[in-house]
Chains A and B, each alone.
Chain A
């Protein structure tokens, strides 16, 4: 086991396209790091460079003490789980798992011991004689895991290992991967485009966009303090509501943001935490409201300056909570970031300017709001997010300007 350090890592192809740019990441010994981002953000390329399957254009990769830039994959002592599993079709489960060990010329007895132990952990013991084609998707996935685990490598690399499983199995395997990783404590780099996987699995999560690292930190930090619009929109489900609103200061020195006919009053804690906000007075800012920071006013202790009024145009009962969609008369935020997020979410109907913005609130299931009825949504104004409309950066302190 070892730490993996990426320094100024970059990948450019012959035709000039860049997959990864100046990636700096320090993955600590035993840490579970998740690389997340929309497709084409360079996360898989970064992983393949660590694996040695992709040439490094610039920068260095350390695994443990050594720079491995010019070390071939087979000598890097890292194991990889492929999205497609890539099992050896002509070998049975036992030989698939044992393949890497036989190449290392381990004693037969030792190999047998290790394969059976791993098969036991992954509940594959009764399938050891079967060929991959006779296994279910979940079993194949476990064989792929077993092939990595059995080698006890310096690091695990996983390339969207759960994306081919159905939803239920994915949740199961997600828990299993987390458990196994904790048990054997091996440094792990895990690539996914699924932010739920990223949040639940990662000790730390690194969000990438177009080959550039946006933010890296513990999942909660990414959720609470996203550095920019992209991270804010990517982390969380349903995604953060983003609207464009004007920031005003009244004679009493209180800050307001206007959303259509309503205005939200910012508690004092907000400008204290975000001193740079003062510079935006009289200008438009991007306001981010997480769906879970809203509630039906009837069920909340709402005060003046904390309520948005509208009419519900869609109500989705999830059982544990209710998602209420309602339009507000403010221009939607259309930037590069939101466009990319919409593309990733597969929604082609980008909000058009002039048509208002549909907000989503996550209300308690006790709410009595139905489609077509008026909504009064309470907003936890202490948890609003603010972004610079030009740069998309989160507004915090002066120097972030």
Chain B
């Protein structure tokens, strides 16, 4: 849901088209206007529930039960930070919030590090069986996560990982890698061979090529992967529900537990949900600046 924050730019060549008639230009401009209106509508559709969630989290329980969040437009005095104060004071929710970090950060870092190393090898280092290995790894994309839940739960039980943060992280890493390798390997193979060979001629070892040529050039792909992986882990409920226990539960699981305890306590839920949204949004905004077009421009003719 945070993806709406992405700036959408449609470049329409306005100048430099002398051959086009007034009519086609008019249609083009109208078309451009229509596109912008549609985009604005989509953005509003996406933002209304988020905004509602924010308002609900700022009203107390009785107000939320009595009427809808839009009442705030007529009675802004109802707004209060009490819910947030209560949430921060709630040890269980606070702990789960931290747990989410303990799960999402390593699960993201590990996937990005392992996938970029593996992708470099699969894309650029020649070794026997490389093609087969690539197909096998990427083929794992079709493996549904649900199929693995019970076998892995048994395995984790035997290894003493069941109910631990480590277990949850490992599961996320395992299931995040196929897609991550698929994404990065595709990007890496698109890097001109000459660039890598130039570095090799300049005296670079594979490690130096990876660190000083591939990684800087692949920043946009790595940024996308980081955002994807972080969002996926942060928003996950299923994996955490299966593998985490009460002490290691992330915010998604904790919020669900709140639901059961108090029935429709919309004030607590909306507050927790909103807080849990802020972090991925921040991650997105931080990494967004790496989405630069034409990183490879000027390298090769």
A residues contacting B by CB (< 8 A) are 51-53, 72-75, 78-80, 82-90, 99-100, 103-104, 131-135, 137, 140, 147, 151, 164
* Segment at the A interface, from B84-92, B105-113, B171-179, B201-209: B201-209
Q: How far is the CA of A82 from the CA of B202 in the complex (A)?
A: 12
Most A-side CB within 10 Å, residue of B194, B195, B203, B300? B203
- Size band of the interface chain B makes with A: 20 to 34
Partner of A90, one of B198, B201, B217: B217
Instruction: Pick the 5 closest A-B CB pairs, nearest first.
Output: A133-B298, A132-B298, A86-B194, A84-B300, A100-B202
Contact B297 A89 (CB under 8 A): yes
Across the interface, do A73 and B216 meet the contact criterion of CB distance under 8 Å? no
Given A86-B195, A135-B298, A137-B301: A79 and B201 interface contact (C-beta under 8 Å)? yes
Given contacts A74-B201, A89-B217, contact A131 B194 (CB under 8 A): no
* Choice from B203, B216, B297, B299 contacting A86 with Cβ under 8 Å: B299
> Do B294 and A84 touch across chains, with their CB atoms under 8 A apart?
no
Cα A51 to Cα B295 with chains together (Å): 27
Chain A CB count within 10 A is highest, among B192, B205, B298, for B298
* Residue among A74, A84, A132, A137 making CB contact with B194, cutoff 8 Å: A84
A140–B67 CA distance with the chains assembled, in angstroms = 67
CB of B300 within 8 A of CB of A103, answer no
B299 partner residues in chain A, CB cutoff 8 A: 84-89, 132
Contact A99 B216 (CB under 8 A): no
- Given A131-B298, A132-B298, A133-B297, answer yes or no on A86-B204 (Cβ-Cβ < 8 Å): no
Cβ of B197 < 8 Å from any Cβ of A? yes
B296 an interface residue at 8 Å Cβ cutoff? yes
Closest A residue to B296 by CB, please name it.
A89
Contacts of A80 in B (CB 8 A): 197-198, 201
Q: Is the CB–CB distance between A53 and B197 below 8 Å?
A: yes
Nearest chain B CB to A49's CB is how many angstroms away? 13
Cα separation A75 to B204 with both chains bound (whole Å): 9
Minimal Cβ-Cβ distance residue in A for B294:
A133
Do A53 and B300 touch (CB < 8 A)?
no
Chain A residues whose CB sits within 8 angstroms of the CB of B204 once the complex forms: 74, 103
Contact, CB under 8 Å: A85 / B202 = no
In the complex, per-residue mask of B278-301: 1 if CB is within 8 Å of any chain A CB, else 0 = 000000000000000011111111
CB distance from A90 to the nearest CB of B (A): 4
Docked Cα-Cα span, A85 to B202, in Å, equals: 13
Name, among B195, B198, B199, B216, the residue most crowded by chain A CB atoms within 10 Å (CB to CB).
B198
Complex contacts, A73 vs chain B, CB 8 Å: 197, 200-201
| Contact between B295 and A86, CB atoms less than 8 A apart | no
- A51 and B201 contact, Cβ closer than 8 Å, known pairs A89-B297, A132-B299: yes
Chain B residue at smallest Cβ distance from A144: B198
Q: How many A-B residue pairs have CB under 8 A?
A: 89
Query: Contact partner of A87 among B197, B200, B205, B298, CB < 8 A?
Result: B298
B138 an interface residue at 8 Å Cβ cutoff? no
What 1/0 mask marks residues of chain B from 201 to 233 whose CB sits below 8 Å from any chain A CB? Answer: 111110010001100110000000000000000
What's the least CB distance linking B29 to chain A, in Å? 31
A103 neighbours in B (Cβ, 8 Å): 202-204, 208
Q: Residues of A contacting B199 with CB < 8 Å?
A: 88, 99
Give the shortest distance, in Å, between A352 (CB) and chain B (any CB): 39
Residues of chain B lying within 8 A (CB to CB) of residue A83: 194
**What are 8 pairs between A and B in contact, CB < 8 Å?**
A52-B200, A53-B197, A74-B202, A79-B202, A82-B198, A90-B295, A133-B298, A147-B202
B202 contacts A99, C-beta separation under 8 Å? yes
CB distance from A105 to the nearest CB of B (A): 10
Residues of B within 8 A of A140 (CB): 298, 301
Q: Which residues of chain B from 148 to 205 have any CB-CB distance to chain A below 8 Å in the complex?
A: 192, 194-195, 197-205
Asked whether, in the complex, the Cβ of B203 is within 8 Å of the Cβ of A84, the reply is: no
Question: A325 to B263, alpha carbons, bound, how many Å?
Answer: 97
A91 CB to nearest chain B CB (Å)? 8
**Closest partner residue, chain B, to A99 (CB atom):** B202
| Interface bits B33-63 vs A (CB < 8 Å: 1, else 0) | 0000000000000000000000000000000
Contacting pair B295 A89 (CB below 8 A): yes
Besides A103-B204, A135-B298, 7 new A-B residue pairs in contact (Cβ under 8 A), listed by A number: A53-B201, A75-B203, A86-B194, A87-B198, A89-B295, A132-B298, A140-B298
B176 to chain A, nearest CB (A): 27
Q: Is the Cβ of A86 less than 8 Å from the Cβ of B298?
A: no
Contacts of A51 in B (CB 8 A): 197, 201
Residues of A near B202 (CB, < 8 A) are 74, 79, 99-100, 103, 147, 151
CB-CB nearest in chain A for B197: A53
With A84-B300, A84-B301, A86-B195 in contact, do A100 and B295 touch (Cβ < 8 Å)?
Answer: no
Task: With both chains docked as a complex, state the minimum distance between the C-beta of B220 and any C-beta of chain A, in angstroms.
Answer: 11
